[in-house]
Amino acid sequence: MVSGSVLVVEDERSIAESLTFLMERAGFAVRVAYDGQAALTMIERRPPDLILLDVMMPGCDGFEVARTVRANPALSAVRIVMITAKGQDIDRRKGQELGVDDYITKPFSTREVVARVKALLDPGTPTPGTSNLAADEAS
């Protein structure tokens, strides 16, 4: 049985609802933030094990959230899975540069979301294929 806590950061209510359902059914404790600023407050109050982070949000976007989290050494254990839009290659590369652990492209497959989150939070689980991000060499 997996365990862990996931923070879903997504401004679209219906997508947030799906992601919440999926994470709960996978056995995680789930919280939801509908914008970047709220996410940062929640992370500071109680860091989750993993953040499912949408890139495109009004105001403080996903990059800003990732940058802030990665700039804080106390949060270095927090895993970040970024949700980018199809066709926005540059977003994926920026996320990689900012130190996110994996990414998912919209419109995503729910099975893939669950598999990727499980792979990061419970390395013992068999992974369906490798991570989307090849590890960047140490720099």
Partner 1 sequence: MAPPTPAGNRIRALRQECGLTQVGLAHTVGISPSYLNLIEHNRRPIGGALLLRIAAELGISADQLAGREEARLAAELEEMAADPSLAAPLPAAAIPQMVGQSPDLARAALAAYRAYRDARLQGEALAERLSQDPFLAEASHQILTLITSIRSFSEILEDYGDMGDAQRQRFIGGIAEESRRLAALSGEMFDFLGGRAAHRPHQTPEEEVDDLFHDRANYFPELEDEAERVRRGLPGGEAGLFASLAESLRSRHGVAVQFASPERVPRDHDYDPDGRVLYLSEALSSSSWRFRAAQLLGRLEAADTIEALAATPSLTTDAARDRARHALANAFAGALLLPRGEFLTAARVLRYDIERLQERFTASFEQVCHRLASLSRAPEGEHGAPIPIHFLRTDIAGNISKRFSASGLRLPRYTGACPRWVTHTAFLTPGRIVTQVARLPEGGSTYLLIAKAFARPGGGWRTARTYHSITIGCDFAFARHMVYADGLDPAAPGVAEPVGVSCRQCPRQDCAQRALPALAVEASSG
Chain contacts with partner 1 (rule: CB under 8 A) = 12, 14-15, 17-19, 21-22, 25, 56, 63, 85-86, 89-90, 93-94, 96-98, 106-111, 134, 136-137, 139
Q: Which of 29, 31, 55, 26 is nearest to 114 (CA)?
A: 26
Strands (E) in 42-97, as ranges, are 50-54, 79-85
Separation of first and last alpha carbons in the chain: 36
Q: Least distance from C-beta 46 to partner 1, angstroms? A: 26
Residue (46 or 89) nearer to partner 1, CB:
89
Residue (47 or 68) nearer to partner 1, CB:
68
Residue (47 or 112) nearer to partner 1, CB:
112
Longest dimension (CA), the chain: 39
Q: Least distance from C-beta 97 to partner 1, angstroms? A: 5
Residue (18 or 37) nearer to partner 1, CB:
18
95 within 8 A of 103, measured Cβ to Cβ: yes
Helix pair angle (62-70, 36-45), 10° resolution:
30
Residue (63 or 79) nearer to partner 1, CB:
63
Q: Least distance from C-beta 67 to partner 1, angstroms? A: 8
Q: Least distance from C-beta 126 to partner 1, angstroms? A: 18
Q: Which of 45, 64, 51, 48 is nearest to 103 (CA)?
A: 51
> Regarding beta strands 5-9 and 50-54, do their DSSP bridges make them parallel or antiparallel, or are they unpaired?
parallel
Q: Least distance from C-beta 109 to partner 1, angstroms? A: 7
